[in-house]
Chain A
Amino acid sequence: MSLPNEHSRRVFMQRAVLASVLAAGGAGTLSACASGGSSGGASTGEGEVSADNPFGVAPDAPLDVVIFKGGYGDDYAKFHEELYKKQFADAEITHAGITDIRQQLQPRFNGGNPPDVIDNSGAEKLPISTLADTGQLSDLTALFDAESIDGGSVRDGVLPVAIEAGLYDDKPLVLNYALECYGMWYDQALFDSKGWALPETWADFMALCEEIKGAGIAPMAHQGKYPYYIQQFLMDLAVKHGGQEVAFAIDSLEPDAWKSESMVAAAEALAEVKGKGYMLDGTEGLDHIQSQTAWNEGKAAFIPCGSWLENEQKSVAPAEFVTTVAPTPLLDGAKLPYGSTRISAAEAFIVPSKAKNVAGGMEFLRIMLSKEGAAKFTELTAAPTVVKDAVGGLDLTPAAASVQALVESGGDDNWNYYYDVWYTPMDPKIQSAVAELAAGRLDATGFCDAAQKAADEAAADPTTNKRTRG
């Protein structure tokens, strides 16, 4: 269990994303006053506002940057800091690349002295919905409304999920920078050699599984110790069957959202995979490293995961292994197209409302969202960002190319859910129920009941801030 892997898993697993409605009409309310007005700055600084300096950053104001140094490292941020320095040569930049964000920053938040920019990610991240609920995050509306460094507004230059994922009661408070795409992963080389075609329907998938099993390979593995992964498969089946509304209902804690026809069908489908013996033996007890390694060794054909998989397995995958993502097959009567999938934005960048240099923090984010800044991120980390058309000239690996293709083929039908970060105590309960379902200890009805019970508990909890989507 090596530490970097552990962290990268958590980075993605616990993406700090939160949102409610994708701002109906973009919500023009500019919000210099939304930061609560206490000791920190407003969204304009003391410098002069100009086209090159839309937030009025004071040129000599120091900038305090804290980056989660996990799977992506922190070199990309140092590059962004150089860009910032080019603009404000007199600004003194403090850079910290750390993994224990919470331990180091909790006292600073409690003391009212937080940094100006934080990449709040990893296993030790600060509870972001709590920060948002207590008014400790700057409203980023001004950032998205501002002119982009490459021309046009910043808002038009990023994928909608970047803004949706950071919405909090209709206000964008978080910039989720890295783009993640989920699906079923397989070895293209293996499939080519066996002549296996990707299944688009559930019937085809079952037939293929039978064939794979006949070839002495387990059709599917999953990272059972962290039920989050197989849950991606389950949710994808359900949402593609019933449409975005399935995810909206779950996120809005609507009554019986987990008992919808689509969710039941998806749960039955997952139970069928387990019931017919298509799961890798013992996979429900393996962690991500063990299961993904077994998959790399050709013991299993498919594994659910996100777009970081290739990078994470770099040292393990055999040279001839061609990591490729496939969309989840469609259940009968599915509403979304086969080529759609769950995408999310991760690496949660925030500008605390009580920071000394709020304007500088916003400017830093604007630099990150430039094509130059985004391309450097992708170059250094092999991961896509939420910035549109930033990777034009880059050579993509087969995995990255398949991710790119899937993101594009899904377009507006790509979907996401947020309940896990909105209602953090509910998340482990759902995951626990998913694990029971995937291990064959709960049937579809049992799973839906257990999941609904967890959702009802969240809905009834007076300390939970309820949100809605859709």
Chain B
Amino acid sequence: MQHGRYRFVVGFLVVPLALYGVFVISPFVQAFYYSLTNWTGVSPEFEFVGLENFRRLADDSVFLRAIRNNVLLLVVVPVVTIALALLYAFLLNVGGRVGAAGVRGVRGSDFYKLVFFMPQVLSVPVIAVIWSVIMSPTSDGLLNSVLGVLGLEPSRFLANPDIALWCVVWVMVWGSVGFYLVLFNAAMTSIPRDVFEAALIDGAGRVATFTRITIPLLWDTIQTSWVYLAILALDAYALVAVMTAGPGGPDNSTQVIALQIASNGFQFGQAGYASAMGVVLFFATLVIAAIMLRITRREQIEY
């Protein structure tokens, strides 16, 4: 019997594992190998150069700039997105007036949910194009017209190196909040109502309910979201490539690692060097995910 069960399990696993091995694992391994060569990407011939590519990375001013920008995204995007998503989810679920029916969300919460989720059904390039039109740098641009009505000076937005990256941050947050709102909303719905009602009876206000009950009970979900958002922030390729001048922004102000990988690997004919960047990004992602999971680890709360 035991023997037969193994055959059964293996039968199910062999195809997906093989596919995973060919399309996921093997490219990773190859990238590690190519990062130690001077492969151009378009020739069957190349040489082994050891760690030379990694040494060059340390002196590459554009790559270092890209790392700086990615770190900023990494710090800002997850915090802002999660904070906003949590706040909205809370309001939609339990933020409404307390009536005879007990705890409920604000009026029209289903409609808000739909509105917030809307960006999620758009593809990233579409979002990028929409926002680059909204943030048009001319004084008759959409957002600049609004600024004009408010009596403010027109802004260059993505063409201004001082704020270009913040414009990208804004679009990333705008594009992500909806998804995490729905995620947190689902998690909150699974928290039993009576917990909130008990808190209410004990005289807890909205703030106390939020910090003492909602957040601790959602911690697992928040933790996972944090890792996802960090990975998103380490990429940012599509938004930057479509939205910003260059691409890479004026004076490389929105340059990111993924964009540098693409330029070096495909336009400059330096696939080996680009693989080295990929390896750096791989380890950065791995380490950051591990650290985040560790520092956010809490006791599991059962309910």
Contacts and interface: CB of A to CB of B under 8 A. Distances in A.
Q: Which of B42, B139, B161, B250 has the most CB of A within 10 A?
A: B42
| 10 A-B pairs closest in CB distance | A285-B159, A285-B137, A130-B269, A127-B269, A282-B138, A282-B137, A225-B245, A134-B43, A424-B268, A130-B40
B95 interface: no
Contacts, number: 116
A106 B139 contact: no
Contact of B62 (A109, A110, A136, A429): A429
A109 B273 CA distance: 19
A130 B251 contact: no
20 contacts: A109-B43, A110-B42, A127-B41, A127-B42, A130-B43, A136-B42, A136-B43, A225-B159, A281-B154, A282-B139, A282-B156, A283-B137, A284-B250, A285-B157, A285-B160, A286-B137, A429-B62, A431-B246, A432-B252, A463-B38
A283 B250 CA distance: 13
A335 interface: no
A51 B136 CA distance: 60
Given A110-B43, A282-B137, 9 more contacts: A1-B242, A127-B40, A130-B269, A226-B245, A226-B246, A227-B246, A284-B159, A285-B160, A294-B138
Given A130-B42, A282-B154, A441 B161 contact: yes
A290 B44 contact: no
B158 interface: yes
B44 A110 contact: yes
B266 interface: yes
A101 to B, nearest CB: 11
A466 interface: no
B105 interface: no
A425 B264 contact: yes
A224 B45 CA distance: 39
Interface string A93-122: 000000000100010011110000000000
A129 interface: yes
Interface string B209-245: 0000000000000000000000000000000001001
B148 to A, nearest CB: 12
Contact of A111 (B44, B157, B242): B44
B270 interface: yes
A256 B31 CA distance: 38
Interface in B35-63: 38, 40-45, 61-62
B72 to A, nearest CB: 19
Contacts of B161: 441
A436 interface: yes
A159 interface: no
Interface residues of A, number: 41
Interface in B277-301: none
A336 B40 CA distance: 39
Interface in B247-273: 248, 250-252, 263-264, 266-270, 273
B25 interface: no
A328 to B, nearest CB: 23
B129 interface: yes
A382 interface: no
A127 to B, nearest CB: 3
Interface of A: 1, 102, 106, 109-112, 124, 126-127, 129-131, 133-134, 136, 224-227, 280-286, 290, 294, 424-425, 428-429, 431-432, 435-436, 439, 441, 457, 463
B250 A282 contact: no
Given A424-B268, A424-B269, A439-B159, A284 B137 contact: yes
Given A106-B42, A424-B269, A429-B62, A281 B138 contact: yes
Given A1-B129, A129-B269, A130-B41, A285 B158 contact: yes
Contacts of B269: 127, 129-131, 424
A463 B269 CA distance: 11
Contacts of A281: 138-139, 154
B129 A127 contact: no
Contacts of B96: none
B119 interface: no
B40 A286 contact: no
Contacts of B41: 106, 127, 130
A136 B43 CA distance: 8
A129 B270 CA distance: 11
Contacts of B267: 127, 424
A131 B268 CA distance: 11
B61 to A, nearest CB: 8
Contacts of B61: 457
A246 B149 CA distance: 48
Contacts of B251: 432, 435-436, 441
A282 B129 contact: no
A224 B250 CA distance: 10
Interface in B142-159: 144, 154, 156-159
Contacts of B129: 1
